[in-house]
Structure 1
Amino acid sequence: MTPLIQAEQAVLGAVFLDPGQLDHLSPWLRPDHFSRPAHRALYAAMLKLRADGHPATTISAGEPLPLAWVTDTLQEAGTRTRGLTAPYAHSLVSACPRPAHAPVYGRMVLEGAIHRSVAQHAIRLHQAARADGVRGGVEETIRHAQILSDVLTDLAHRWGTDPRPLAPPAPSQPSAHQPQPVDEEVLADEEFLLGCLSVRPDQLLDVVGWLHPDDFADIGHQHIYRSLGALHHRGEPIDQLTMLWETQRRGALADGSLDAERVLRICDPLAFSGAAEYFGERIVQASLVRAAAMAARQVRALADTEALAPGRLIGYALHALGPLDDVRRRWRAASESETAPLRPAGPTDAPAATRIDAARSRSPLPVTAPAPATASATPACSPTPDRHPRRSHS
């Protein structure tokens, strides 16, 4: 018999011996906090008899307990489940060390219920994420993620703590971070989006506000997206060669996450053409489902750790849901954004001279003495006229 079952028996035995303990238990301990159906039925019966004004629940201290308290409780519980007998009720009484310690036993029951409830809702979230990943939706994932968040908040209040995210000590649960297989269609969407952005870099402005590098399932695609954003942010030209050079500068070729042939193929101007927003939304949607599955695995691993105190379990679980909440907000921004008219297709809007000057600015010439001014001297090139304010792509 586990300590949790013993605690449930001790709570019921304490209430059988002293019904007044319900005054301390009823505000925060519910029947569904008990793991066994028989225990849930008995505790629910006790609460009902108390609400109906049973004589045993209104006696003063020192007065004898009516014998009908046990028999009436068994009779009421018998309407909710079967198999309850008088000898079992007496065994519950024997299982209680001290009736005055009922609130402590009740907190043991609540602690077990918190672990069990968090684990159950984490499993449901993981199942919803897997189902949405197959059918290509996010509705059930978002709904179960919100349910899990609400359950954690309610459990925190019942335990008497604030529902605050708490970062667990490193290292975190290793089993929860195992890489999961990614659908080939998702990888194809990512590759197509990167190709569209390399052909029309101006479309970066349509997705940069809600599409992050971590939304890409493939780490090589993450490097390419960061490189695209960096080149566009600096006002430099984007083509196969500049992309290959930027990915090399960022170490993506050295660490093996990319190779030159793959970069050139993705950035081929003749291979891809389309609207970036549509594929960006699909990528964020897939990222949301993956984040939900990851969070569910982490929360399940935490809930299965019996040595973890409820307050820390709730805080760690809320922290694990943080990345999912971020992706969910960006998914909402992507799905609610109005479709803007497509810009005219073209390699870039900047004049050729300005683009050449921007590329040269990365490798300035050595400083020399200023040449004498002449009437035909060319004025200094101004910054790229359509360069967008500072944005972060890395």
Structure 2
Amino acid sequence: MMSDATPSEADDDLLQYSAAPPVVHYAEQALLGALLLVPERLKTIGPLEPEHFANTAHSALFTAIRTVSPPPPEVHRTSPVWPNQLLDAAQAQARALTASYLHTLISVCPTDTHAHAYAQMVRSGHARRVLRRHAGSLAQAARTAGPDPARTVLARADQLAVYLDELATAFPSHPGSMPRTPAAPTAAVQTSAEASDEERMLLAAATAYPEHLPRMRWLHESDLSTPRYTALFACLTGLARRGAPVDPITVLWEAQQRGLLHHGFGPAEVLDVVSHPAGAPEHWGQKILQRALLRQAEDVATRIETLTADEATTVHQLATGSRRALATLSSVRARWHQALGDPSPGVGGASPATVQTPMPRQPAVQASPAVRHSARPVR
């Protein structure tokens, strides 16, 4: 028979939170209390799975509620047969679960007639957690080196897009659907030595082979991470767009006309940057664009994580804000596929199994460190 003992330390362990539990914890308690009081409410709460509960003990108890048949109503009203059966079934997965905690669940339930509303709160809490996991998975893919990081990132983005579609179906819109959460500040671009070297090689290769620049409209100035190299790339594209001659001297002159020369980055430094080509501009441009794609994916993940951290946002607001954040990746993604020779990539809603990232095109000129030009023009 169920004991009337007061809550024990084991019951406190069921909270599983280092600080105050979130609001959804109380919704889980209220729902389980309602189902303990009136087992028939299970038929009215809508689709709900054990994994929708954040608390593992709650999940184990709900599993037992779904699998253990309750006794006839007249027996349930007069005897704790069913709660005892539930406790025996759930303790195999949650040893800390006690009879006194089941009493607590019943006592904290305001009314069993609101079980459907409590279940919707539990579903909302689960949706928030899953969305946050998707964002974390996207961020991890963007930060982890691998043989084909762009493919992995785009697959994770597609998985996120599919889940957002599911949320839109499960949680209809409502007045005030736009998120009120302030956007996460865009992280400052960190320039690594490797990225800086790649950008330097791009500038030298594009100066040596400027005829490739019109085919590289998929690469934008904002994709570069080193400010001085970004400015020099703008000089190169400006010259190519005007049909002006391009060589180290014309690039230097353009840099002077744009006011880019200063102490520490004078004529000698500019000439040194643009006068040592190795490989094709497309080769280095693809590497730079891939880095930009990964940076943008990480920024999207940060924005979504910021939204999910705001407990005041509804699930539909989370979905709306996440869609907007994910849309910022679409432009870079489209340019990435264009760079690889795939003009019509499937963006957004493709399932992970159908994501196809083409192999990069063979550069017109193979990368070859042996190709060298003099650092400065012969005087």
TM-score band, normalised by the shorter chain? Answer: 0.7 to 0.9
SS for the counterpart of 2:145 is helix
SS for the counterpart of 1:138 is helix
Q: Which residue of 1 aligns with 2:149?
A: 137
Matches within 5 A, 1:178-189: 178-189=187-198
In 2, the alpha carbon distance for the partners of 1:46 and 1:170 equals 37
Change (3 A) 1:80 1:131: same
In 1, the alpha carbon distance for the partners of 2:53 and 2:102 equals 16
Q: Judge which range, 185-194 or 39-48, deviates more.
A: 39-48
Change (3 A) 1:218 1:37: same
In 1, the alpha carbon distance for the partners of 2:73 and 2:305 equals 45
Once the two structures are TM-superposed, the CA of residue 136 in structure 1 deviates from its matched residue by 7.3
Q: Which residue of 2 aligns with 1:153?
A: 165
Query: Which residue identity does 1:207 align to in structure 2?
Result: M
Alignment counterpart, residue 314 of structure 2, candidates 306, 309, 317: 309
Query: Which residue identity does 1:115 align to in structure 2?
Result: R
Alignment counterpart, residue 204 of structure 1, candidates 197, 207, 213: 213
Q: Which residue of 2 aligns with 1:391?
A: none
Q: Which residue of 1 aligns with 2:43?
A: 23
Q: 2:180 touches 2:313 (CA, 8 Å); kept in 1?
A: no
2:272 aligned with 1:265, yes or no?
Answer: yes
Query: Which residue identity does 1:235 align to in structure 2?
Result: G
Query: Which residue identity does 1:9 align to in structure 2?
Result: Q
SS for the counterpart of 1:105 is helix
SS for the counterpart of 1:321 is helix
Change (3 A) 1:137 1:231: same
Once the two structures are TM-superposed, the CA of residue 312 in structure 1 deviates from its matched residue by 1.4
SS for the counterpart of 1:132 is coil
Matches within 5 A, 1:220-299: 220-247=228-255, 262-268=269-275, 271-299=276-304
SS for the counterpart of 1:306 is coil
Q: Deviations over 1:36-88 (max 9, x none)?
A: 10001111222334xxxx356x979xx96985432333233233332322222
Q: Which residue of 2 aligns with 1:319?
A: 324
Change (3 A) 1:119 1:204: same
Unpaired runs of at least 5, structure 2:
1-19, 341-357, 367-379
In 2, the alpha carbon distance for the partners of 1:132 and 1:23 equals 48
Q: Which residue of 2 aligns with 1:356?
A: none
Once the two structures are TM-superposed, the CA of residue 238 in structure 1 deviates from its matched residue by 1.9
Q: 1:220 touches 1:257 (CA, 8 Å); kept in 2?
A: no
In 1, the alpha carbon distance for the partners of 2:127 and 2:266 equals 49
Root-mean-square deviation (CA, aligned residues, Å) is: 3.4
Q: Which residue of 1 aligns with 2:376?
A: none
Q: Deviations over 1:185-225 (max 9, x none)?
A: 111111111211122111113322x3222221223333333
In 1, the alpha carbon distance for the partners of 2:179 and 2:102 equals 42
Q: Deviations over 1:126-147 (max 9, x none)?
A: 22222227x7733443333333
Query: Which residue identity does 1:286 align to in structure 2?
Result: R
Q: Which residue of 2 aligns with 1:339?
A: 362
Q: Deviations over 1:322-374 (max 9, x none)?
A: 2333323333343435436559xxxxxxxxxxxxxxxxxxxxxxxxxxxxxxx
Query: Which residue identity does 1:310 align to in structure 2?
Result: V
Q: Which residue of 2 aligns with 1:173?
A: 184
Change (3 A) 1:124 1:264: same
Q: Which residue of 2 aligns with 1:215?
A: 223
Unpaired runs of at least 5, structure 1:
344-394
Q: 2:289 touches 2:336 (CA, 8 Å); kept in 1?
A: yes
TM-score by length of 1: 0.71
Query: Which residue identity does 1:4 align to in structure 2?
Result: V
Q: Which residue of 1 aligns with 2:199?
A: 190
Alignment counterpart, residue 107 of structure 2, candidates 64, 74, 94: 94
Change (3 A) 1:168 1:310: closer
Query: Which residue identity does 2:150 align to in structure 1?
Result: V
2:32 aligned with 1:12, yes or no?
Answer: yes
Q: Which residue of 2 aligns with 1:42?
A: 61
